[in-house]
Amino acid sequence: MQTNQKREVANDSHENQPRPDSLLRLPHVLARVPIGRSTLWGWVREGRFPKPIKLGPMTSCWIASEVDAWVAEARSKSS
């Protein structure tokens, strides 16, 4: 019984972090990339940031692994 409880606790810690293939809404992207909304959308238009996936007329999401890769590349360029 105790073993199952330990597994549940271990799994809970991973649920709060998005999986690499998960979709991120704009507030989550902006939490990872500290820029404003208009700057982000400008970079998307210019091709400087990954394009979102349109889920509806007013719903856009980004693939978490693409955002993470962009952040990693931006860090390596600044070093």
- Residues above pLDDT 70, as percent of the chain: 76
- pLDDT exceeds cutoff 90 at 8: no
| Domain boundary assignment for the chain | 20-78
The H or E element containing residue 60 is strand 59-63
Q: Give the tens place of pLDDT for each residue, 62-75.
A: 999 999 999 999 99
Q: Which residue has the tokens 């719903």?
A: 59
The CATH class, in words, for 20-78 is mainly alpha
Q: Report the SS3 class of residue 62.
A: strand
Amino acid at 11: N
For residues 36-53, average pLDDT = 98
Q: Specify the pTM.
A: 0.72
